[in-house]
Amino acid sequence: MARTGFRTRVSKASPERRERKIARLHDVVHSQSERLEEQSELAALRETSSERPLSPGAVLALQSTVGNQAVSRRLAQDGAIQRKEVTVGTETVEVHSILGVLTKKGKAEQLEAEAIIKALNDTYGVDPSSSKLVEAIKAQYTNVPAKVTKALKARKWRMIELRALADALKHYAPILGKARATSSRGGEAQEVVAVGKGAQAIDTNKPTGELDTTTLGEYFKGKKVMGLFKASEGHHDEFPDEKTELVATFVHEIAHGVLAYAYDEFVASGSGGFWTDQNTKSGAKGAEAPPTKYGKTNAREDMCDTASLFFITPDKLSGFPKRLAFMQKVGKDWIPPLKEAPVNLGGGDAETPVTPDSVPVPVIA
């Protein structure tokens, strides 16, 4: 009865109201889907094999006969379940919607995006700004034709990327934002101050330079900005899934900024004798080879890939004792010995002191 009445009301409602109801229905479907039996799912699949688009009324009729998951599947088949772009701060973020209307999940994603973006600024001193990314690329790639730099575009963030970014920044928390002041890096300005999402990067800083389709992420030293690019969407090679790969890409790009001070130390003691200098392999037999193929490009890429493995899958560094020891030392060095640490005289607001033993903590993101 209730279902019949609901269907009648929907059929008389305005298109906008109908869409909202469908969106609400989808949320219900989502929460109830686990209760569906296998037989019902199979029946639904048989029932929904048609390529014709369904009207909202037909959608509800289908829901009443073969089950909620059938509706969910059919909405997806019709392209009704979509990603809607919302604005958070200066950034465009893609969240869940149906027929252009934010679902509960979409609203929750928007709130989450707002929280992440606020935390990036407040906690880590990193401003999410894709327009700053575009400007940083232009400032660094000065020899490419103007038509190429004019074609640079910001791109919408996906939730998976914002979550990965937040996870990546946690690994550098002791030397970012307000925490940096009490670290051994406190005397130096923070090397990453903005992050953006871009459609494409540029392949080379020459008059022949053009937009590329291969750059996953890049750090732009001149403006202290790091970028993530469209090529990273759906990509993973070193790590088992896209989310982990994204965290690794961010950890890698952040390292190009905040760990650049340690490049020479990495060459001298952290790379197991593999590098003569930042650009040149030693060619020594028996040297500890980089743990990734990309790390063989130069010592800087090696160190940044090593940082990704150390923070995300430290077990993968178990066969690379020099690199593992180097990263452990880097993390401990961030926290000055207690006798040298600045004394907080601010009263009751002091945070719990961070001890050398607590950093870094290699955590699976």
Partner 1 sequence: MTSVFDLAACQQILGLSVSALKTKLDIAHGETHEDVAYEGLEGVTQYYNPKSFPGRVYVRDGAVQMVYVPSGAALAGVSVRDLTRKLTGKPKEMRSRAGKEFTHHVYADQGVAFSAEGDELCFVEVFRGRPLKAYLAEIYQDPGPFIR
Q: Please give the residue ranges that form the binding site for partner 1 (CB under 8 A).
A: 140-143, 203-206, 212, 214-218, 231, 249, 252-253, 276-285, 294, 297-298, 300-301, 304
Least separation in angstroms between residue 279's CB and partner 1 is 5
Nearer to partner 1, 86 or 195 (CB): 195
Closer of 45 and 199 to partner 1 (Cβ): 199
Minimal distance in Å, beta carbon 284 to partner 1? 5
What minimum distance in Å lies between the beta carbon of 289 and partner 1? 13
Give the residue with the Cβ less far from partner 1, 33 or 140: 140
CB of 261 to partner 1, least distance (A): 17
How far, in Å, are 5, 214, 281, 290 from residue 321 at the CA level? 69, 31, 19, 11
With respect to partner 1, which residue has the nearer C-beta, 174 or 290? 290
Minimum gap (Å) between residue 273 Cβ and partner 1: 10
**Cβ closer to partner 1: 128 or 217?**
217
**350: DSSP letter:** P
Which three-class secondary structure string do you get for 300-317?
A: HHHHHHHHHHHHHCHHHH
Burial class of residue 362 (count of CB atoms within 10 Å of its CB; 0-12, 13-18, 19+): middle
CA 144, CA 327: separation in Å to the nearest integer?
37
Residues in CB range of 190: below 8 A, 6 or more apart: 125, 175, 176, 177, 180, 224, 258
Q: d(Cα 150, Cα 344) in Å, to the nearest integer?
A: 48
Tell the smallest beta-carbon distance from residue 130 to partner 1 (Å): 18
Burial 180-210 (b: 16+ CB within 10 A, else e): bebbbbeeeebbbbbbbbbbbbbbeeeeebe
3-state secondary structure of 220: strand
Q: Considering beta carbons, is residue 205 or 355 the nearer one to partner 1?
A: 205
